[in-house]
Amino acid sequence: MENYFLQLNKIECKIEKKKDLTYISWSDAWTEVKKLYPESTYTIYENHDGFPFWDSIYGIDVKVGVTINGLEHIVRLPVMDGNNNAMLKESYTYQNKYGEEKKVEAADAFDINKSIQRAFTKAIAMH
């Protein structure tokens, strides 16, 4: 098997900024992978009920795998609120570092989808 890490590592990805965050778009990352390795695939894993997330007392998380050259890297990632706290299926409150109480709405399909795309990009980066 060729050393595809060295090939992928040479790619100069477009860096995007939003507020204080710097990131690479999932679609840009996938485009670059498919240019070099068109047989690559990805899997959005589902729980036993067919939903693309898992729920526990600790929060909701997603699981995504990316396969390049027959090697799959899997990333499991929590669905996070704006303060990077794991979200729940119900609304909740927490105290921020200034002692202020903040309310967070229950995670919805949009929150889950954002986490799937982030996990997808991280799984690509694992290669």
Residue 95 CA to residue 107 CA, distance in Å, equals 18
More confident residue, 121 or 20: 121
What pLDDT, in 10s, does the model give residues 29-81?
999 999 999 999 999 999 999 999 999 888 999 999 999 999 999 999 999 98
Residues 6+ apart with CB under 8 A from 54: 47, 60, 61, 62, 63
Alpha-carbon dihedral sign for residues 86, 117, 29, 123: positive
Burial of 78 (0-12, 13-18, 19+ CB in 10 A): buried
The angle subtended at Cα 96 by Cα 94 and Cα 102, nearest 5°, is: 45
